[in-house]
Amino acid sequence: MYAQRFGSLPIAHRTGGLADTIEDGVTGFLFDDMQFGSYMHAIQRAFAVYKSTDLFNAMRGAAMTGRYHWKQSIVPYSKLYLQALEQAGNEATLTR
């Protein structure tokens, strides 16, 4: 998030908080597989964007103006936890 705030476009594995704060191809670059080839593909995409000044500057602008705080992540995680609790309650009722 600090890198994005100052205009650096991160390259990161699509996991946890990184996937929540980096929008692939908009505010940085994400790769899915923990494999060298997947990582290199993300790096190649980053270099291609760097060569396109307009796209690079647009992405930097999007990264710098992004709102990075936990409020973005709270809503979807809260819904997920509530669904899990509800399902666990339903399963407990069925086993009684």
10-59: per-residue pLDDT in tens?
999 998 878 888 999 999 999 999 999 999 999 999 999 999 999 999 99
Per-residue pLDDT at 23 = 92
Q: What is the pTM of this model?
A: 0.69
Per-residue pLDDT at 3 = 83
Q: What are phi and psi of 56, to 5 degrees?
A: -60, -50
Query: Average pLDDT of 65-80?
Result: 71
Instruction: List Cβ neighbours of 31 (8 Å cut-off, separation of 6 or more).
Output: 11, 12, 13, 14, 38, 39, 41, 42
Distances (CA, A) of 7 to 2, 27, 32, 40, 48: 9, 9, 23, 21, 17
- Who wins on pLDDT, 40 or 70? 40
Per-residue pLDDT at 72 = 61
